[in-house]
Amino acid sequence: MTIAPDSDLGGAAQGKTAYLESLIRQDFERCHPGETLEDLKRRASFSREDRGLLRDWMAIAASRAAADRARKSDFNSAA
Domain segments of the chain: what residues?
A: 19-78
Spatial separation of the C-alpha atoms in residues 36 and 49, rounded to whole Å:
16
Q: Which residues contact 5 (CB under 8 A, 6 or more apart)?
A: 45
pTM of the predicted model, to two decimals? 0.76
pLDDT of residue 74: 75
Chain segment 6-54, per-residue pLDDT in tens:
555 578 888 999 999 999 999 999 999 999 999 999 999 999 999 999 9
How far apart CA 27 and CA 23 sit, in angstroms, is: 8
